[in-house]
Amino acid sequence: MGRKKAPLPRRPVAVPTVIANWKMQLSIREATRLAQAIRDGARSLPAPVQIVLCPTFPALPSVRDVLRGSGIALGAQDAFWDERGPFTGAVSPSTLAEAGCQYVILGHSERRRFAHEDDEAVSKKVSAALRRHLTPILCVGETLDDRRAGHQERIVTEQVVRALAFSPPPATGQRLCIAYEPVWAIGTGQAIEPEQALTMAKVIHQALVDLFAHPGSEIGTRPRNVKILYGGSVDAENVVQFISGTITHGVLVGTASLDERRFLTLLHAVARNAAAT
Ligand code: PGA
């Protein structure tokens, strides 16, 4: 019995998602000003783009106020897996929802590296976020050593499978984003080749099919409410290469989201591409 091969999904191209990960790069005042500029500049986009801004925790309330009514969503950069308790420094998914977040980045390689988060922690966080109807932006990706050894497909498949181990397929009303971010392309200014991103998006697609296929589900399908994104040195010049096709549905942007002109140029490129397809 061989593995089911997932055919490429044949469904209308969804509204592209562009997520800004501001990391620990901006003060509250800078984040608020940047959110205002993005909100104002995004009004003239030629097609809908789901924009998500992820500031540092203390900037969430002021950025939320700026975004109110704009259609731009608010996201956090991490969440804990429990709702309440003696967890100094942690922030619960329900508190994030109360603060106005709709999205939360989980398992980013910087947290895996600096905060020693492993797949088990990431998995508990994903299911806690889904329970609170936050959309997890689950980050997966191999290191340069993994890639040099040719292990990227196995590593990424394992990360996806382990991160979703405790989660049933996202139910109606729940959504999940999986961002493929090769660690060696983050913050380097050197994005990977679009074909490499597409190959890995297909690997993630197949992992989802294998995970969530169950009796009664259509063979070769994955939940409709799961989007696959690419991240790692995305900018206005290269973004369109990463969102064409029906497998990748958007991008996760760090450095190029920190400057209003750069980010708005990127958003316009995404919207123009969406308008043309
Ligand atoms: P980058 O960061 O765009 O600066 O590479 C992406 C990320 O870390 O999510």
Q: Which two tokens stand for residue 12?
A: 């209308």
Percent of the chain whose predicted confidence (pLDDT) is above 70? 89
Q: For position 212, what pLDDT does the model report? A: 79
Ligand 1: does its nearest atom lie under 6 Å from the Cβ of 75? no
**CA distances (Å), 50 to each of 60, 161, 237, in order?**
18, 26, 19
Report how far apart, in Å, the C-alpha atoms of 8 and of each of 12, 164, 202 are. 12, 22, 8
Whether the CB of 254 sits within 6 Å of ligand 1: yes
Structure token pair of residue 102: 């709709």
**Dist. CA 102 → ligand 1 center (Å):** 20
| pTM for this predicted structure | 0.92
Interval 29-43 mean pLDDT: 98
Task: Report the atom number in ligand 1 closest to the C-alpha of 189.
Answer: 5
State whether the beta carbon of 252 lies less than 6 angstroms from ligand 1: yes
Report pLDDT for 13: 55
Orientation angle between helical segments 152-163 and 119-131, nearest 10 degrees: 40
Assess contact for 259 and 22: CB atoms under 8 A: no
Query: pLDDT tens digit string along 123-178?
Result: 999 999 999 999 999 999 999 999 999 999 999 999 999 999 877 767 666 789 99
Helices (H), the chain: 28-41, 60-67, 93-98, 109-114, 119-131, 144-148, 152-163, 194-212, 239-243, 260-276
Task: Render 89-111 in DSSP notation, one character per residue.
Answer: T---HHHHHHTT-SEEEES-HHH
Active site residues: 108, 181
- Atom 6, ligand 1: which residue's CA is nearest? 254
Quick check: 207 pLDDT over 80? yes
Find where tokens 């789901």 sit.
50
Which residue's CA is the closest to the ligand 1 atom numbered 9?
A: 254
Query: What is the number of the ligand 1 atom nearest to the C-alpha of 19?
Result: 9
Instruction: Let me know: does 143 contact 185? Beta carbons within 8 Å.
Output: no
